[in-house]
Amino acid sequence: MKALLVPIGNSRGVRIPKPLIEQCGLTDEVDLEVQDGTILIRAPRVRPRAGWTKAFACMAREGDDKLAETHFPSTPWDKDEWAWP
């Protein structure tokens, strides 16, 4: 399938037909990459734990970063079997 480059301000763009968008699962945002002279357009990769640093900083500011349980009763297993490596 061929497409034309169309002017968009100082840049140029490609109109992607709806069936291709649906087939690739593209939404409002895409990842672009150049690989061996080819432009790759793909759905954004899921980034596990994205935003955790910001959320933890907010929790610390709010004092919400403490253990919910502060007393942990020991068991015979803790005393007899557990050993730090």
Domain boundaries, the chain: 1-62
Residue 44 CA to residue 27 CA, distance in Å, equals: 9
Residue type, position 74, single letter: S
Nearest to 28 by CA among 16, 36, 40, 37: 16
CATH top class, domain 1-62: mainly beta
Per residue in 13-59, pLDDT (tens digit) is 999 999 999 999 898 999 999 999 999 999 988 888 889 999 999 99
List the structure tokens of 25: 């699962």
User: Residue 35 belongs to what H/E stretch?
Assistant: strand 31-35
Q: What is the mean pLDDT of residues 57-66?
A: 91
pLDDT at residue 31 in the model: 93
- Indicate if the pLDDT at residue 70 is higher than 80: no
